[in-house]
């Protein structure tokens, strides 16, 4: 638990018993139980607060990602979940949009919700790629990489992403680039060190083009931040998980302050948006 800051974080021993197979089962259970943002968002915060977190994601997508879409662009969205980013890619004008998820329940729901979009069951960290390789000008993998528990799965996922993006194409991901604090941040979340992530992207054949903070005040400071920020988030977290309606108040109250903080922040204490270009040949 985070008490005053990163140094006070204690990793519960039961977290260490959760590996990649258990994490996949956890996500499938979430998708069976929930069908809204609570299935894919901040666990325990409730649908209302997660709605505001996704409103922030939409704001950042429209500002920084949508301009990447050209006429007829082909897009693959990895770990589509509820279909949030599928709608944004269509709104941006992508010509072909393909969705995917590892959860059978999520895939079934997505196919019902988006009958006009190709939805595939796809494990990003799998040993084999069932999707056509090198077909996509744009590939997005939002809020998925830090949920890959073991490092071998992580490296394989980056390699798989490189196979899916056309040379010269674009990869858009969100990641927690940890500068200090615990590596194991939750039972199904591992925050890798900043240099490790950037080196992994380069090794897979990606060049970092743009890096933007996604959250400062409204999400767990998983990547860094000082004692005051950690103490602040501990209090917010306690309110969200203990009072059912807290998210309905905290979300709209914090939203304008988060937008202001994002304009000022150069590096986020939480998740960041990374836009990468696929080099012509893998390094």
* Dihedral (CA of 27, 87, 154, 60) sign: negative
CB 157 within 8 A of CB 125: yes
pTM of the model: 0.91
| pLDDT number for residue 24 | 81
Find the distance separating the first CA and the last CA of the chain, reported in whole Å. Answer: 40
Q: How many CB atoms lie within 10 A of CB 28?
A: 16
pLDDT single digits (tens) 174-222? 999 999 888 888 888 999 999 999 999 999 999 999 999 999 999 999 8
Q: Which segment of 11-15, 104-108, 210-214, 273-277 scores lowest on mean pLDDT?
A: 11-15
pLDDT single digits (tens) 112-156? 999 999 999 999 998 878 777 778 999 999 999 999 999 999 999
Question: Beta 165-175 vs 136-141: how paired, if at all?
Answer: parallel
Q: What is the mean pLDDT of the chain?
A: 90
For the structural domain made of 6-278, what CATH number should be given? 3.40.50.150
* C-alpha–C-alpha distance, residues 44 and 31, integer Å: 14
Rounded (10°) angle between helices 194-204 and 151-164: 40
* C-alpha–C-alpha distance, residues 134 and 161, integer Å: 9
Residue with tokens 């409204």: 218
CB 11 within 8 A of CB 1: no
pLDDT single digits (tens) 100-112? 999 999 999 999 9
pLDDT of 3 > 60? The answer is: no
Q: How many CB atoms lie within 10 A of CB 135?
A: 15
Largest separation between any pair of C-alpha atoms in the chain = 52
């Amino acid at each position: 638990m985070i008490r005053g800051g990163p140094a006070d974080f204690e990793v519960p021993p039961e977290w260490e018993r959760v590996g990649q197979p258990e994490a996949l089962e956890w996500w499938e259970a979430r998708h069976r139980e929930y069908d809204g943002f609570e299935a894919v968002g901040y666990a325990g915060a409730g649908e209302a607060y997660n709605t505001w977190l996704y409103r922030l994601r939409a704001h950042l997508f429209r500002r920084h990602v949508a301009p990447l879409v050209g006429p007829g662009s082909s897009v693959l969205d990895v770990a589509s979940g509820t279909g949030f980013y599928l709608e944004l890619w269509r709104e941006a004008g992508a010509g072909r949009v393909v969705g995917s998820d590892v959860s059978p329940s999520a895939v079934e729901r997505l196919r019902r919700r988006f009958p006009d979009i190709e939805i595939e069951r796809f494990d990003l960290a799998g040993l084999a790629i069932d999707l056509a390789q090198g077909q996509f000008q744009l590939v997005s993998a939002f809020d998925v990489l830090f949920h890959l528990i073991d490092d071998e799965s992580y490296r394989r996922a980056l390699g798989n992403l490189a196979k899916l993006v056309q040379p010269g194409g674009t990869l858009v991901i969100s990641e927690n680039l940890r500068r200090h604090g615990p590596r194991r941040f939750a039972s199904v979340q591992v925050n890798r060190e900043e240099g490790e992530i950037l080196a992994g992207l380069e090794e897979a054949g990606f060049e970092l083009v743009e890096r933007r903070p996604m959250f400062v005040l409204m999400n767990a400071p998983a990547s860094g931040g000082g004692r005051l920020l950690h103490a602040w988030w501990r209090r917010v977290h306690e309110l969200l998980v203990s009072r059912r309606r807290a998210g309905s108040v905290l979300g709209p109250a914090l939203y304008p302050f988060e937008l202001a903080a994002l304009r000022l922040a150069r590096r986020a204490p939480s998740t960041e948006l990374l836009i990468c270009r696929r080099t012509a040949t893998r390094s």
